[in-house]
Structure 1
Amino acid sequence: MTVHPAFPVDGLAPAAPIAVRVVDPLALSPPLAAAWDALAAEASEPNPFVERWCLQSALHLLDPERHARLVMVQGGADGPLIGVMPLAAAARYGPLPLRHVTGWAHPNHFHGAPLVRAGTESLFWSILLGWCDAAPWARTMLHVPRLTADGPLHRALTDVARGRGGDAAVVHREERALLDSALSPADYWDAAVRGKKRKELRRQANRLAEQGAVAFRRWAADDAIEPWIDAFLDLEARGWKGRAGSALASHGDTEAWFRAIVAGAAAAGKLDMRALDLDGRPLAMLVNFLCVPGGFSFKTAFDEDYARFSPGVLLQQANLDLLGDARIAWIDSCAAPGHPMIDSVWRERRALVWTNVPLGGAGDRFRFNALKRAERLWHRWKRAGPDSIEDQDQP
């Protein structure tokens, strides 16, 4: 544990030291586990992938080599948690042999924001970066993937980096589908989906009803969760992801993690799971995590034998009833940019940025600035072509 000097923080005693801890996720004390859970309700930006019910099992099951460090910033030994973030030392930055610190993630970790207590964003980044400055394993920079562009955490990181005499360089940007509207579900559907497409979907729904009894189901808190998990894993594995070996059930570790987090989300009151059934058999299913004031549409699957009826889109139409939930202001699709299905239904977009911030040592700043120049040249080369760059470099 590293202890830093006191900082004025709302809710903390004026003289309380700020402690940075690297915690074993499998050896959490009950008070620390409870504090982590409580932090999620007070977070500046919700992120289910860093909540305890999701991240704890990910670190256990998806990081067998124990590369990640579960870092917690706390107001003194017994004070409230200020922030939680998984970090890892990386030996390469893309194709470059460049040692640095990165926000740890796995392929199903769709948002990179740490959990940070609202109002302490700048304090969190200041302490975390100062701690990395002193850590013998940390080099060059902190790389933070998938921050909400211009959100409270991104703005605070930018301000803190400038205050340290550096900058927060955005090195990549993506946009993905977002549901964020004051319209009713019916009005949103009419506004978002063109009339010809709506007519075709009504025809498909009618043809599907001719095949048997069609029903929409939503998991309820008194339902057993295991049958829902089993059904989703089976449905996904029978599709293209199963054939490609990328379905959750294709690997024991990802299946075990999925089972753990869906059960954990249910226990935490954050699971929203839905199905479109034909004669009691699911044709499409989806998993949402509702983390007030937002939500995350984590996974979806459909039966490809019934693709001509667009069961996934029909289920997404029913999913629009989330617009009527007063607790939920927006839903992040967690989808790839340009996803052909969800982009045609959800019209808003969420921008995410991958951000680099230099550490404080002279060698760190030198390597960081060299990397910035190399990335600038690379982007110029991509935009203008190699001949243009060579011409500009001539004396």
Structure 2
Amino acid sequence: MADIADTSTVRRASSTDANARTAESGAALMPLAGVSAAQWRALSERAAEPNGYYLPEWELAVNASARGRGGAAALGAWRDASRLIGLMPAISMWRAYKIPLPALVSADPYGTLCTPLLDAEMAEEAVTSLLQQAKQAGAHALIFRATSLEGPAMKAFTDVLHRAGMQPLVLQSHVRACLDASADGDEVLRESLGTKKLKELRRQRNRLAEHGAVQFDVARTPAETTTALETFLELEASGWKGQRGTALGQNDGDATFIRRAVPALADTGQCQIVSLRAGGTPVAAAIVLRHRSRAFYFKLGVDERFAKFSPGVQLTLDLTRHLCADPDISTVDSTASPDHPMINPIWRGRLAIGDVLIPLRRNDPVVALIRAALALRGTIREPARRLVHFVRARQEKS
């Protein structure tokens, strides 16, 4: 087995990433689409740590049609033929970063969280099996992008690695906003925004009401979310995302994915679309995923003709109260950029998120090479990434 896959090998792997082969003689992984949806769903119900973006109804829809996100492989762990105990949707390092080195990288689920699913009752057994399968596939490392750093999933990986004389390497980390939904919603808003800011937002809401009674709606069923999704897509495309060409509805593959995923998750109670209307006019809408005790604030669309009334903020205030009143939800992940100017002042909790390199062999020089290549790439790309995030955040705020 070659220690480092040559460029032609990795290019072949990237063209058929269902195999996710990272070394010439590595065993192919199962295509993600080949995983039993029933087993995957059962694993998600037992997951040690929630991740709405790796629910089967969501990730299989992403894998089937979303732009640039198809053809993932399944790094999976089974207790027996009928019990899936661990799953990481994966792609090659070449496809993820255009770096021809033998590593498997968590597949982008069209959401900024790639924490793998582990069976809570046998998390360490699942980790051991995942690491072994990755080695058999020819990988020298796993790379988790945008994963939770302080949850039970990372703890299980850390504990297994420590027993083998290794440790995970955090490549980059940040914190992002989250909501403690176990608290009273109004109290959360008072503590985060203060009396003066809330008074100003009430004034804006009263001004918005001059266009018609302001109403907060929650679409829950497949039929309701199907209708509400079209409203969301229109709102998102009407604003700066539409001008930039990145709104979901502007790409056929992305539109197909979201139209498949939303009603499918609504059917299991794992997706809601919330909206704010002034009379009969929708002024803001957002997609919210739900997995066990956690919710995920996926995307927000607003009618920018009403920008002076802060429709996105107004919707987020109502969403805060809505989720705090839900006994099934304890935490809400904003899944936003770390410096997001709208959500950070409202949701003052913070989640530690980062990219993590998991070595598969002790004292492996290839792992050092992988780490160095990623560090060099980050040095080159990070200033541009920060600028893009800053511009996007300012556009969302305005």
In which range does the TM-score fall when normalised by the shorter chain?
0.7 to 0.9
1:354-369 residue pairs with structure 2 within 5 A?
354-360=355-361, 365-369=364-368
Q: TM-score, normalised by structure 1?
A: 0.82
2:37 counterpart residue number: 33
The answer (yes or no) to whether the contact 2:172–2:355 under 8 Å persists in 1 is yes
Gap runs ≥5 in structure 1: 1-19, 381-395
The answer (yes or no) to whether the contact 2:174–2:353 under 8 Å persists in 1 is yes
1:189-228 residue pairs with structure 2 within 5 A?
189-221=189-221, 223-228=223-228
Rounded Cα–Cα distance in structure 1 between residues aligned with 2:345 and 2:40: 37
Gap runs ≥5 in structure 2: 1-26, 380-398
2:354 counterpart residue number: 353
Which whole-Å deviations, capped at 9, do the CAs of 1:23-78 have from their partners, x for residues lacking one? 445455xxx32222121111001112111100111111137795421233211223
Shift of 1:93: 7.6
1:290 counterpart residue number: 290
The answer (yes or no) to whether the contact 2:86–2:117 under 8 Å persists in 1 is yes
**Does residue 74 of structure 1 match 2:78?**
yes
Rounded Cα–Cα distance in structure 1 between residues aligned with 2:377 and 2:238: 41
Q: Secondary structure at the match of 1:81?
A: strand
Which whole-Å deviations, capped at 9, do the CAs of 1:221-250 have from their partners, x for residues lacking one? 385332211111000000000000110011
The answer (yes or no) to whether the contact 2:142–2:359 under 8 Å persists in 1 is yes
The answer (yes or no) to whether the contact 2:222–2:267 under 8 Å persists in 1 is no
Rounded Cα–Cα distance in structure 1 between residues aligned with 2:211 and 2:43: 48
1:338 partner letter: D
2:140 counterpart residue number: 140
The answer (yes or no) to whether the contact 1:93–1:99 under 8 Å persists in 2 is no
2:131 counterpart residue number: 129
2:19 counterpart residue number: none
1:311 counterpart residue number: 311
Rounded Cα–Cα distance in structure 2 between residues aligned with 1:278 and 1:377: 50
Q: Secondary structure at the match of 1:360?
A: coil
Q: In the comparison of the two structures, how many residue pairs are matched?
A: 353
Shift of 1:251: 0.7
Shift of 1:97: 4.4
Of 147-156 and 59-68, deviating more is 59-68
1:13-28 residue pairs with structure 2 within 5 A?
22-26=29-33
Q: Secondary structure at the match of 1:356?
A: strand
Shift of 1:361: 8.0
Rounded Cα–Cα distance in structure 2 between residues aligned with 1:351 and 1:253: 31
Rounded Cα–Cα distance in structure 2 between residues aligned with 1:64 and 1:333: 24
Flag the structure with larger Rg: 1
Of 302-311 and 173-182, deviating more is 173-182
Root-mean-square deviation over aligned CA pairs: 2.7
Rounded Cα–Cα distance in structure 2 between residues aligned with 1:220 and 1:128: 35
The answer (yes or no) to whether the contact 2:79–2:85 under 8 Å persists in 1 is yes
Rounded Cα–Cα distance in structure 1 between residues aligned with 2:371 and 2:299: 36
2:351 partner letter: R
The answer (yes or no) to whether the contact 2:182–2:331 under 8 Å persists in 1 is no
Runs of 4+ in structure 1 off by over 6 angstroms are 373-380
Pick one of 102, 105, 113 that aligns with 1:102: 105
The answer (yes or no) to whether the contact 1:21–1:71 under 8 Å persists in 2 is no
Which whole-Å deviations, capped at 9, do the CAs of 1:272-318 have from their partners, x for residues lacking one? 21111122121001111121211111111111110000111111111
Rounded Cα–Cα distance in structure 2 between residues aligned with 1:63 and 1:258: 11
Shift of 1:212: 2.0
1:1-395 residue pairs with structure 2 within 5 A?
22-26=29-33, 32-62=36-66, 67-78=71-82, 80-91=83-94, 97-106=100-109, 108-135=110-137, 138-221=138-221, 223-321=223-321, 322-360=323-361, 365-372=364-371
Q: TM-score, normalised by structure 2?
A: 0.82
2:191 partner letter: A
Rounded Cα–Cα distance in structure 1 between residues aligned with 2:290 and 2:267: 13
Shift of 1:167: 1.9
Distance 1:27 1:125, change over 3 A: closer
Identity fraction in percent: 30
Which whole-Å deviations, capped at 9, do the CAs of 1:69-89 have from their partners, x for residues lacking one? 1233211223x2101221112
1:390 counterpart residue number: none
The answer (yes or no) to whether the contact 2:52–2:289 under 8 Å persists in 1 is yes
Q: Secondary structure at the match of 2:183?
A: coil
Shift of 1:220: 3.8
Higher helix share goes to which structure? 2
Q: Secondary structure at the match of 1:342?
A: coil
Q: Secondary structure at the match of 2:260?
A: helix
Rounded Cα–Cα distance in structure 1 between residues aligned with 2:246 and 2:222: 31
Rounded Cα–Cα distance in structure 2 between residues aligned with 1:204 and 1:159: 51
Rounded Cα–Cα distance in structure 2 between residues aligned with 1:224 and 1:181: 24
Which whole-Å deviations, capped at 9, do the CAs of 1:136-168 have from their partners, x for residues lacking one? xx3331111122112111111112222233221
Of 298-307 and 318-327, deviating more is 318-327
